[in-house]
Structure 1
Amino acid sequence: MITTLRHLLVDSWAGRAAAILIFLAFIGWGVGDVYSNMGTSSSNTIVTIGNRTITPDDLARALSAQLPAAAQQMGLSDPSHLPDGTKQQIARQVLHNLVIQNEVQLAGERAGMVVPDELIRKEIFAIPAFHNAAGQFDRSMLNDRLARIGITEKRLIQMIREDIISRALLQGMGASVQAPTSLLNRLFAFDADQRVMDVLRVPFTSTAVSAAPTDEQLHRYYDNHPQDFRTTEYRHAKMVVMTADSVAKTIEVPDDVLHKLYDFQSRTYNMPETRTLQVLTFQEESKANAAATAWRNTNAWDAIQKAYPDAAAVALPHVRESDIPNPELAKAAFGAPANQISGPTKTAAGWVVFNITDVVAPHQTTFEQAKPELRDQVQKQEAPEALQARLKQFQDAIAGSTTLEKIPSNLGAVPAAGSLDSHGLMQDGTPAPIPGDAGLRQSIVQHIFSQKKDAQPVVVNGPDGSAFAVVVDEVHPGTRRPFADVRDQIVQAWTAEQQRHAADTRTTALFTEAKKSTLAKALEGQAEASSLRKDVTISRIHPDQSLPQNVLRAAFGLKVGTTGMYEGPDAFWIVNVTGQKPGAEADAASLQKELSAQYVQALQADIPAALDASLEKTVPVSHLNTNLFNQVVASTSPGNAGGAQ
Structure 2
Amino acid sequence: MSELPPAGPAATMITAFRRLAGTWFARGLFVLLVLSFAVWGIEDTIRNFGRDNAVARVGGDPIELAEAQTAARRETQRLQRQLGPRFEPNEAFRQAVARRALDNLIASRAQDREARRLGVAASVDAVRAYTFSIPAFRGADGQFSPFLLQQFMRQNDMTEADFTRLVVSDLQRQQLVGAVRAGARAPETLTKLLAAFAGERRVAEVAEFPLLTAPEVPEPTQAQLERFHENNPAQFSSPEYREAAVALLSAEILLPKVEVSEAEIDAGLEAQRERSGAPERRTVEQALVKTKEAADAIRTAWTGGANLEAITAQAVAAGGAALEMGAVTRAEMPVENIASAVFALPQGGVSEPIQSPFGWHVMKVTAIQAAAEIPMETLRAQTRETLAREKAADLSFEEANKLEDALSGGATVEEAAKRFDLESTRVTLDRQGNGQDGRPVALPGGPAARAALIEAIFANPAGSGPRVAEVGQAFAAMDVSNAIPAALRPFASVEAEVRRAWTLDARRRAQEERATALMSAAQGNNGQGGKDFTEAAKEAGVEPVRMGPATRDAEGPAAGGIPAELLPALFTLKPGEVTMATTAAGFAVAKLVEILPAEASPEAVTRAKTEVEQAMQEDLEAQFAAALRARAEVKINEALMDQVAAR
TM-score bracket, shorter-length normalisation: 0.5 to 0.7
1:405 positional shift: 6.9
Number of residue pairs the alignment of both structures matches: 485
Give SS of 2:489's match: coil
Give SS of 1:577's match: strand
CA 1:575–1:468 in 2, change beyond 3 Å: closer, same or farther?
farther
* Residue matched to 1:552: 567
Amino acid at match of 1:539: T
CA 1:366–1:466 in 2, change beyond 3 Å: closer, same or farther?
closer
Is 2:269 the counterpart of 1:265? yes
CA 1:503–1:77 in 2, change beyond 3 Å: closer, same or farther?
same
* Residue matched to 2:534: 521
Amino acid at match of 2:504: A
Describe the superposition over 1:491-523 as per-residue Cα deviations: whole angstroms up to 9, x where unpaired.
433433332233233223222222232663334
The percent identity for this pair of structures is 21
1:435 positional shift: 4.1
Which of 159, 184, 192 aligns to 2:199? It is 192
* Residue matched to 2:434: 425
* Residue matched to 2:111: 104
Alpha-carbon separation, structure 1, partners of 2:512 and 2:71: 57
* Residue matched to 1:204: 211
Maintained 8 Å contact 1:193/1:580? yes
Which of 112, 120, 123 aligns to 2:123? It is 120
Maintained 8 Å contact 1:45/1:56? no
* Residue matched to 1:600: 616
Amino acid at match of 1:533: V
Residues 152-231 of structure 1: pairs in structure 2 closer than 5 A: 171-173=178-180, 175-179=182-186, 184=191, 187-188=194-195, 190-209=197-216, 212-213=219-220, 218=225, 221=228, 225=232, 228-229=235-236
Alpha-carbon separation, structure 1, partners of 2:109 and 2:442: 48
Give SS of 1:561's match: coil
Alpha-carbon separation, structure 1, partners of 2:444 and 2:410: 20
Alpha-carbon separation, structure 2, partners of 1:176 and 1:114: 19
Maintained 8 Å contact 1:198/1:519? no
Alpha-carbon separation, structure 2, partners of 1:508 and 1:157: 63
Question: More deviation in 80-89 or 396-405?
Answer: 396-405
Alpha-carbon separation, structure 2, partners of 1:219 and 1:622: 63
Which of 523, 538, 543 aligns to 2:550? It is 538
Residues 10-159 of structure 1: pairs in structure 2 closer than 5 A: 60=70, 64=74, 68=78, 76=83, 85-86=92-93, 88-109=95-116, 113=119, 120=123, 123=126, 129=132, 149=149
Describe the superposition over 1:582-607 as per-residue Cα deviations: whole angstroms up to 9, x where unpaired.
33323641343123213321321222
Is 2:478 the counterpart of 1:475? no
Is 2:515 the counterpart of 1:507? yes
Alpha-carbon separation, structure 2, partners of 1:194 and 1:366: 58
Amino acid at match of 1:424: G
Structure 2 runs not aligned, ≥5 long: 1-50, 135-141, 154-158, 278-326, 328-342, 344-373, 526-530
Alpha-carbon separation, structure 1, partners of 2:164 and 2:244: 52
1:575 positional shift: 1.8
Amino acid at match of 1:562: E
Greater relative CO, 1 or 2 (CA 8 Å, sep 6+): 1
Alpha-carbon separation, structure 1, partners of 2:474 and 2:145: 24
Residues 608-627 of structure 1: pairs in structure 2 closer than 5 A: 608-617=624-633
* Residue matched to 1:571: 586
Alpha-carbon separation, structure 2, partners of 1:121 and 1:560: 64
Maintained 8 Å contact 2:578/2:591? yes
Describe the superposition over 1:526-579 as per-residue Cα deviations: whole angstroms up to 9, x where unpaired.
47443x221533322335285555433333344443222222233111122234
Give SS of 1:585's match: coil
Which of 495, 499, 506 aligns to 2:503? It is 495
1:378 positional shift: 2.0
Alpha-carbon separation, structure 2, partners of 1:180 and 1:427: 63
Amino acid at match of 1:602: E
Amino acid at match of 1:195: R
Which of 370, 375, 382 aligns to 2:394? It is 382
Maintained 8 Å contact 1:48/1:621? yes
TM-score, scaled relative to structure 1 = 0.56
Residues 282-293 of structure 1: pairs in structure 2 closer than 5 A: none
Maintained 8 Å contact 1:187/1:595? no
1:397 positional shift: 7.1
CA 1:605–1:121 in 2, change beyond 3 Å: closer, same or farther?
closer
Alpha-carbon separation, structure 2, partners of 1:157 and 1:489: 60
Maintained 8 Å contact 1:404/1:471? no
Is 2:248 the counterpart of 1:236? no
* Residue matched to 2:338: none
TM-score, scaled relative to structure 2 = 0.56
CA 1:176–1:601 in 2, change beyond 3 Å: closer, same or farther?
closer
Alpha-carbon separation, structure 2, partners of 1:454 and 1:404: 14
Alpha-carbon separation, structure 2, partners of 1:398 and 1:125: 42
Alpha-carbon separation, structure 2, partners of 1:420 and 1:154: 44
CA 1:63–1:440 in 2, change beyond 3 Å: closer, same or farther?
farther
1:433 positional shift: 3.0
Maintained 8 Å contact 1:198/1:535? yes
Give SS of 2:605's match: helix
Maintained 8 Å contact 1:229/1:480? yes
Larger-Rg structure = 2
Alpha-carbon separation, structure 2, partners of 1:130 and 1:603: 28
